Amino acid sequence: IFFRCCTMAPQSGNMVQGAVLQCLEAATLGMPFEVWKTRMGRNRHETTIEAFKNVYKSGGAQAFWKGTSAKMVESATKGCILLYAKESILASLNKTGTSPGIAGALAGAGGGICQVSVMGPCTFLVTAVVTQKNATVGQFMKQTWAEQGIKGFYPGGSAIAMRQASNWASRQGFTEFVRNQMRNAFHGGDKKAKLTNRQEIYSGIIGGIMACWNHPFEVARIEMQASAAAGEAKVNMVTTLRNIHSTNGTQGLFQGVIPRVGLGIWQTLFMVIAPKLIANYMEKK
């Protein structure tokens, strides 16, 4: 059924692919990396290993999938939006002869910004249940809606927008740049050459790692949403970054970057490389 959907009109096929791939990404290693990273972003005194152990102590292996219900809603909607917007922009830019790296960065940024509408509430709920004790998604939804209405689900919206735009601009842009270098190194510079599956995967891994330069935005997002969930006073993103730096130094702005690297690689493989591999597969059928 999935591969039949991939033969639909490009826009419709991208929407189905995006929803399915993003859900698969989250349900496998994506969610554990997200929970691990979120704990470190909030509890910046913990080391990488301490945070991992403390997540496990809080509920065993299943604690790494805490907040999955909200995450699946987020994944299906943001994946659908991302692939639809990103691939549409990328196809248009490629027709104009824009360089692969720049086209990838612009397409990724556009797709990332489009995701914010659905990601705000979902990331807020996941952050809330990970950082607050004995909390459930349902409890926070009811409490937030009763106290603040719809706007209460968007704390840290500016940080999410900055993160998502730079996330996918970097993941798509760096990956396209590496793919182009692969063509130069292994295919004689032929711009239309098809990379092997292994070369595509290596490109995604390198692109995913390089894209983690923007981790301070993610730490700010976690802090802003966790503070909102705890009922603390609201502050903007710039103030949040300053507070983190004054309390934890530069290291604090990069707390949780190791699980973030794992998440970046995993998401890039699913949302940048997998669509290309699927397209190659469908062409051969």
- The predicted model gives 191-205 an average pLDDT of 93
**pLDDT value at 31 more than 80:** yes
* 212-254 pLDDT per residue, tens: 999 998 899 889 888 887 888 888 889 999 999 999 999 999 9
The per-residue pLDDT for 14 is 78
The per-residue pLDDT for 7 is 52
The per-residue pLDDT for 200 is 96
Q: How far apart (Å, rounded) are the C-alpha atoms in residues 243 and 70? A: 29
The per-residue pLDDT for 253 is 95
- The predicted model gives 123-137 an average pLDDT of 76
Q: How far apart (Å, rounded) are the C-alpha atoms in residues 42 and 178? A: 33
**pLDDT value at 177 more than 60:** yes
- The predicted model gives 31-50 an average pLDDT of 93
Residues near 33 by Cβ (< 8 Å), separated by ≥ 6? Answer: 259, 260, 262, 263, 266
**pLDDT value at 282 more than 70:** yes
The per-residue pLDDT for 71 is 80
Residues near 79 by Cβ (< 8 Å), separated by ≥ 6? Answer: 18, 19, 20, 21, 22, 23, 25, 271
Task: Report residue 100's pLDDT band, with 50, 70 and 90 as the boundaries.
Answer: confident
The per-residue pLDDT for 213 is 93
The per-residue pLDDT for 2 is 52
| Predicted model pTM | 0.80
* 69-87 pLDDT per residue, tens: 878 887 888 888 888 888 8
In the chain the beta strands, taken as DSSP E runs, fall at none
State the average pLDDT for the chain. 87
* 2-19 pLDDT per residue, tens: 555 555 545 667 788 889
Contact 12, 88 (CB under 8 A): no
What single string gives the DSSP state of each residue in 200-255?
Answer: HHHHHHHHHHHGGGGHHHHHHHHHHHHHHHTTPPP--HHHHHHHHHHHHHHHHHTT
Q: Between these two residues, 263 and 232, which has the higher pLDDT value?
A: 263
Which amino acid appears at position 173 of this protein? G
